[in-house]
Each structure stands twice: as structure tokens, then as C-alpha cells.
Amino acid sequence: MQRAALLDAARARTDLRPAALEFAGARALWLARLNPDWRFAQRSASGNASALPGAEDEEGVRRLWREGLFAERVALLTALRARTPADARELLAETWAQERAEDRLMFLDSLRAGLSADDEPFLEEALGDRSRNVRATAAELLSTLPGSALAARMAQRAATCVALDHTGSTAAIVVEAPAACDPEMERDGVTARPPAGRGERSWWLGQLVESAPLDTWPDRLGGRTPEQIVALPVTDDWQGELHAAWCRAAVRQRDDLLRGTLLGSPSAPEAGGPGAVSLADRAKLLAALEADERAAWVAGFIAGHGLSEAFQLLGVCALPWTAPLGRAVVDALDIAREAGSYPWSFSGVMGLAERCLDPAETARLDSLLAVPDEREDASPGAGGYWAEAFQRLATTLRLRAAMVRELAPDGPA
């Protein structure tokens, strides 16, 4: 019954699936065969790599590819891709036309590992797929290959939309968004219909710019460096849209220079000054950094700005939080308490801290558990509420520490 409850929870919450399936083990896969509602477990399982046929067993590879469960086929394709990328691609091409759209999408995603120019012909054919999601994924993969024909087409389209304007006293970027989304753009992965609340032309522009190779822009914008390009003013309120698209391009193309330029210093004001990007865009840029770099940047942001705007930045940090990040969060909560705020103004951060703060930081909370003397300008009762909030946080961290000890291989029997 416990495994059934886990599967029900994972069915409703996709973010829980990897951990739930790992915890439930092989019996979850057995249960999934008995209930169509749990079919996702078979599709999400990574398969048993040790049971896969070796590269020299061509007949075994093809038999598993033709007859295996979906999870086994994904594991086989992933293993082949790691060993011999071309063999994995050729195996996929053999049955591509017969695969279901949702399967084609997941198989195509496996080509991210070891992606190279050799994959371009296959991906170009996938641009004509009957599934919009497959077409979009193929286009995304091609856009990460700077030398691909699709990247060149996107660069040409984007360059017609973004140019230098020398008519003013200083140089600026002028933007002319596409007037229409033609069939050729759609075939190259541009989604014609924008989401609710987005204008069509800005939606199309963003897709073109994020798919164009980043080396398009120095030549197009007067030979400037990324720092100089990002600092250029953008006319007619297009800066947010243009910089957001460059953020997505920097993440997709793994361009560390532009990514660092757009991310900026953690002490820089959010959305303030030339080149600043929103917190949502900063979160995307941070997600592409190494875990320690990410934590250090967010710790610096919290030290300079407090916690009021840090929630979504904390959400992209690896668990448990590093010691510097944990200290920054606890110090900022203490500062908020000293300022006389109520703790429920930071309930989201408190909830994250209960799950993400390293239990080793519990000792640092001891000095915050007492009810402080209230200042005259403080909110009535705030000190007591903060003491309760810190007590709840400390209790949760101690419980997590006890659970870790119990679950450790050498823990209590």
C-alpha cells in the first residue's frame, strides 16, 4: 500500500517522480503494469544498464530495441549514445517512422548527449515531423550546433530584426520584430501562437534571437564585446525582450562570457541600469553554473539585497545549501527579525530553509530561539512569532539529521 501511495503522489507531482521511483524500487514497476494510471513509472524508469547487451552483441541490441519495454529501450539508446553515438542514431532512425509521437520526443531528447554535426541530417529530417513538440526539440538541438544550417537561417532572420542605430548622439540598438511567422519559420521550430498575455511579434522575435548563434552579434553590432553589446541602450522598450532572449541563448549554447555578462554582479540592483536582467532570467543563468558558483552568487545577492527577492534564486541552488549560502539565509532572517518584520513575510524562504538548509547549521539557530525585547518601532508580537518560527525550523533540521542517521548504511539497526 505504501508503494501505491507513492505512485499516486508521483502521478500528480512530476517533480517527485525520480525520488519516488528510486525509493519504491522494482516493485513499483511491477505495480505499474497493473494500473494504467501508473504507466508513467515504466516510462520514467532508467532501466537496468547491467542487463543491457554489449556493443558487440548486435543481434541482442536489435532484439531489445524491437521488443523491449520503453524503459529498456531508453536505457539501451542512452548507453549506446554514450559508447557510439552514430550507432544510437542509426538504431533510432530504423524505427523512427513507427514510433509514437511521445516516444519520438523522449528518444530524440537522448541525442543531447554527444550531440555533434553528424546528427544534423537526422535532426533536419525531424524538423518535418508531424508532432509540434518533436519539431521544436529538433530545432532546439540544431540551434546548439553553431555550424548547422538551421543556426545560419536563424542568424539571418534575427539579424534582420536587430541593428545599430546611429541617428542619436550615442549608438543604440534598434529592434524591428518580425511582421509574420511564415511556414519556413514554423518548420525551423518557431511557435506561431504566443502564450496568453504575450504579443505575437515579441514572441517571434524572442524565438529567433535565442536560436541564433551568439557570434552573430559582434559583427552585426559594430565589433563590440559582449560587455559593450549588453551595455548598449535598446530603443522602444525592447531591452527586456532582447536581453531575455540572449539569456536563453547563453544557457542553450553554454556561452560562459555572455552568461556572466548578463548575470552581472550579485550586488547589482535587479532590473536596474543598462544590461540588467530580471530575477527570472538570472535564475535561468544561474542554473547553468556549477553548484558552488551558483550558491556563492546567491549568497552575495542575499547579503546585498536581503530575502525579499531571493526566493526563486534559492530555488535553483543545489541541496543541501552550502555553508556560506546557509549562513547568508540565516543572517538575513535575523536581520529581518531585528527590523521588526513579521516572519510570515518570509514564509516561502522559511519553507525552503526547512528542506534545504544543512542540518549542521542547527547550532547557529540556538541564539535566535529566545523571544527578544521588542523595540518601540517593531510590529506588535513580532519577536514571539520569530522565536516560534526559528524553533520550528530548528526542530525540522534536527528531525532531518535524525532521519539521515537512521537511513545511513551504518546507522541503528
The pLDDT score that the predictor gives to residue 46 is 47
> Which cell numbers in the block locate residue 3?
508503494
% of the chain residues with pLDDT over 90: 53
pLDDT classification of 217: cutoffs 50, 70, 90: very high
Number of residues written out for the chain: 413
Instruction: Indicate if the pLDDT at residue 1 is higher than 90.
Output: no
Query: What's the mean per-residue pLDDT of the chain?
Result: 86
The pLDDT score that the predictor gives to residue 47 is 46
The pLDDT score that the predictor gives to residue 369 is 83
Contact 390, 365 (CB under 8 A): yes
CA trace torsion 371, 376, 381, 385 (10° rounding): -50
Residue 351 Cα distances to 13, 36, 210, 348, angstroms: 18, 34, 34, 5
CA 214 to chain centre: 20
* Dihedral pair phi/psi, residue 222, rounded to 5°: 75, 25
Contact 111, 141 (CB under 8 A): yes
Return the minimum-mean-pLDDT range out of 13-17, 165-169, 202-206, 245-249: 13-17
Q: Does 127 or 361 have the greater pLDDT score? A: 127
pLDDT of 247-304, one tens digit each?
999 999 988 888 888 988 898 765 444 455 788 888 889 988 899 999 999 999 999 9
Residue type, 70: F
Q: What is the pTM assigned to this prediction? A: 0.75
The strand pairing partners of 164, in sequence order, are: 173
Instruction: Indicate if the pLDDT at residue 224 is higher than 60.
Output: yes
Name residues whose C-beta falls within 8 Å of residue 231's C-beta, 6 or more positions apart in sequence: 274, 275
Whether omega before 320 lies within 30 degrees of 0, making that bond cis, reads yes
Report the distance separating Cα 42 and Cα 22, nearest Å: 12
